[in-house]
Amino acid sequence: MKYGPLLFLGILLTLASSWVGLVLAPYKQLGGLLPNPATNAVGVVSYFPEARKGEAQQGAEHYRSLGCVYCHSQQVRPAGFGGDIDRGWGRRRSVSRDYVHDRPVMLGTSRTGPDLTNIGERQSDYGWHYTHLYNPQITSKGSVMPPYPFLFEKRRIGPGGVSTNALKLVGEFAPGDGWEVVPTPAARQLVEYLRSLKSSYDLPEAPLPKAAGDAVTATAVQ
Ligand code: HEC
């Protein structure tokens, strides 16, 4: 054990340097990030990104547990690093500050389906989202996205008539005479979450393009 102390020091140094590189340095860079204040025309200050409220927050948990993250990313690359902005997935690139409220952050690694960073702005219609989740073949024929019928309840139409939130299903997807399909609370929460996904606010490190087509370039401050 002549080299015992040296070995010990070597191991300590290896562990310490990886801790500095993987824990301390990122914490120093990102740990203090806060939502950015923005003042509107009448002087009211709001903070962006906004914290997710109530049902939208509960919906994030369904998004995680149903595995949506395996097929959908939530990260828009800067112009010049792929066609994300051209595809309409966001008006600007994503930056770390966009995720300050997310626990866990669901960036996603694979894009079997479109990026959902800004889906709340792109598609805010409840009916569309419900129908798509119930069966993607209705809204997007040929889609490889799985259906989530268990997020809905098929029930007999009550004496008051068809419920206001019943899905408008026709043809082969119609539930049958006297029946209706309505979203469960889980479906509602998931759709509130999807509607809350918006990146259309200005940040100092990732400003929105000034005019349509004037995309943010990769030279913007990190
Ligand atoms: C097997 C991969 C896969 C899984 C899992 C998956 N999706 Fe999708 N998703 C897709 C594909 C492919 C599309 C594009 C075709 C379509 O609209 O169905 C899509 C489209 C979408 C869209 C519309 C996007 C747009 O830009 O119009 C939304 C919203 C969406 N998915 C939400 C979800 C949610 C919520 C879950 C989890 C409950 C989920 N997806 C699970 C593959 C998937």
Give the tens place of pLDDT for each residue, 100-149.
999 999 999 999 999 999 999 999 999 999 999 999 999 999 999 999 99
113 CA to centre of ligand 1 in angstroms: 5
Q: Counting atoms of ligand 1 from 1, which one is nearest the CA of 132?
A: 18
Say if ligand 1 is within 6 A of residue 106 CB: no
Q: Which long-range contacts (CB under 8 A, 24 or more apart) does 6-10 make?
A: none
Say if ligand 1 is within 6 A of residue 145 CB: yes
From the number of C-beta atoms within 10 Å of its C-beta (0-12, 13-18, 19+), residue 68 rates as: buried
CA distances, 6 to each of 1, 10, 12, 15, 218 (Å): 10, 6, 10, 14, 46
112 CA to centre of ligand 1 in angstroms: 8
CA distances, 190 to each of 25, 66, 75, 130, 197 (Å): 35, 10, 19, 9, 11
Cβ neighbour number for residue 193 with a 10 Å cutoff: 24
Q: What is the pLDDT of residue 31?
A: 87
Q: What is the pLDDT of residue 212?
A: 53
Compute the distance between CA of residue 83 and CA of residue 77 in angstroms, rounded to an integer.
8
69 CA to centre of ligand 1 in angstroms: 10
Share of the chain above pLDDT 70, in %: 95
Q: Counting atoms of ligand 1 from 1, which one is nearest the CA of 136?
A: 18
Q: Is 50 exceeded by the pLDDT of residue 160?
A: yes
171-209 pLDDT tens trace: 999 999 999 999 999 999 999 999 999 999 999 999 998
139 CA to centre of ligand 1 in angstroms: 11
Q: Which two tokens stand for residue 157?
A: 């139409």
Q: What is the pLDDT of residue 220?
A: 41
Q: What is the pLDDT of residue 4?
A: 92
